[in-house]
């Protein structure tokens, strides 16, 4: 309760969302211990080449997360009033009209959380004695590969499932019809619903592939390079770190711009 109270104070008087900033601080504070465990608790000696490979992979992962979080598909919109302009003027002003941004990653980290919860369930049943113990050491390599494939597939499935919960194409179509706004070249009603449904499928597929690939990177690094202690900095933590950093940067930029405009108005 004290932490929640502090997070509300940060949200009200600080910059950005207080709860996200506290989670961000907790993850960053664990980075020294993660680095220490990475250097001391591994069976393989970390050479400079191996450290360079790991660092490069994480740079690629963070870059991919930035593109995943900020990537959008802009669907242009046109109102009934704008349809009365000439054809040449309409084509020139199409890029500056209103639009609906469809994010590549509508679900955020929820598909990873759902997948991890579902995959932990068999181990929980085995440890609690509900299922009989099974010796799978002879098939350890095969089951690791199957685990990765299953993990990848579940993230794809949950990404599609969660994106349909967040955005309903039929609701979007009905709202646009009420506001007398249409997508250029698409008729209102069922054609608009079908257009958004197919567009969301393609956008979600690209975002889900990105998310699933980034989520499996820590496991692949640990297995291929025989390096442990990387689970403390998983994909969920990276998504939170990058997302909070981007949101805080955007918040600071908006405050700076508002102060600049305020100073310009007061000077006049």
Angstrom distance (rounded) from CA 182 to CA 187: 7
pLDDT in tens, 167-222: 888 888 888 888 888 888 888 888 888 999 899 888 988 888 888 888 877 776 66
For residue 44, pLDDT over 80 is answered with no
Angstrom distance (rounded) from CA 49 to CA 85: 62
Tell me whether residue 139 is in a domain.
yes
Assign residue 212 the CATH number of its domain. 1.10.3370.10
| Least confident among 59-63, 122-126, 134-138, 239-243 | 134-138
229 compared with 197, residue with greater pLDDT: 197
* Cα Rg of the chain, angstroms: 24
**What is the predicted pLDDT for the residue at 95?**
47
Tell me whether residue 225 is in a domain.
yes
CB-based burial, 133-148: b 16+ in 10 Å, e otherwise: eeeeeeeeeeeeeeeb
Q: How confident is the model at residue 106 (pLDDT cuts 50, 70, 90)?
A: confident
Tell me whether residue 18 is in a domain.
no
Angstrom distance (rounded) from CA 72 to CA 105: 9
Mean pLDDT for the chain? Answer: 77
**What is the predicted pLDDT for the residue at 141?**
64
Tell me whether residue 15 is in a domain.
no
Instruction: Decide if 85 contacts 110 (C-beta within 8 A).
Output: no
| Least confident among 50-54, 149-153, 170-174 | 50-54
27 compared with 92, residue with greater pLDDT: 27
Q: How confident is the model at residue 86 (pLDDT cuts 50, 70, 90)?
A: very low
Question: What does the pLDDT average to over 38-48?
Answer: 62
Tell me whether residue 163 is in a domain.
yes
pLDDT in tens, 63-72: 888 888 888 8
Closest of 10, 64, 97, 110 to residue 206, by C-alpha: 64
46 compared with 138, residue with greater pLDDT: 46
Angstrom distance (rounded) from CA 115 to CA 151: 7
**What is the predicted pLDDT for the residue at 230?**
55
Residues in the chain, total: 268
Angstrom distance (rounded) from CA 52 to CA 3: 38
Handedness of CA 108, 110, 116, 118 (dihedral sign): negative
Number of domains in the chain: 1
Tell me whether residue 31 is in a domain.
no
Instruction: Decide if 156 contacts 209 (C-beta within 8 A).
Output: yes
Structural domain of residue 121, as residue ranges?
74-233
- List beta partners, residue 181: 79
Tell me whether residue 176 is in a domain.
yes
Q: Give percent above pLDDT 70 in the chain.
A: 76
Tell me whether residue 196 is in a domain.
yes
């Amino acid at each position: 309760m004290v932490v929640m109270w502090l997070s509300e104070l940060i949200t009200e008087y600080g910059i950005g969302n207080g709860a996200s900033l506290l989670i961000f601080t907790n993850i960053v504070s664990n980075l020294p211990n993660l680095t220490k465990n990475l250097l001391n608790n591994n069976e393989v000696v970390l050479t400079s080449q191996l450290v360079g490979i790991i660092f490069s992979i994480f740079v690629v992962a963070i870059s991919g997360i930035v593109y995943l979080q900020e990537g959008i598909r802009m669907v242009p919109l046109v109102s009934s009033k704008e349809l009365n302009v000439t054809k040449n003027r309409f084509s020139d002003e199409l890029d500056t009209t209103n639009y609906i941004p469809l994010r590549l990653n509508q679900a955020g980290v929820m598909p990873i959380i759902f997948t991890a919860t579902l995959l932990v369930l068999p181990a929980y049943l085995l440890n609690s004695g509900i299922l009989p113990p099974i010796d799978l050491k002879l098939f350890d390599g095969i089951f690791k590969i199957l685990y990765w494939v299953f993990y990848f597939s579940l993230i794809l499935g949950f990404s599609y499932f969660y994106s349909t919960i967040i955005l309903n194409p039929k609701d979007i179509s009905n709202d646009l019809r009420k506001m007398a706004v249409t997508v250029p070249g698409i008729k209102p009603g069922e054609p608009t619903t079908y257009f958004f449904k197919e567009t969301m499928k393609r956008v979600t597929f690209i975002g889900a592939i990105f998310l699933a690939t980034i989520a499996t990177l820590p496991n692949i690094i640990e297995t291929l390079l025989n390096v442990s202690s990387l689970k403390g900095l998983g994909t969920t933590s990276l998504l939170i770190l990058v997302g909070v950093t981007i949101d805080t940067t955007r918040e600071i930029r908006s405050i700076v711009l508002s102060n600049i405009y305020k100073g310009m108005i007061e000077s006049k």
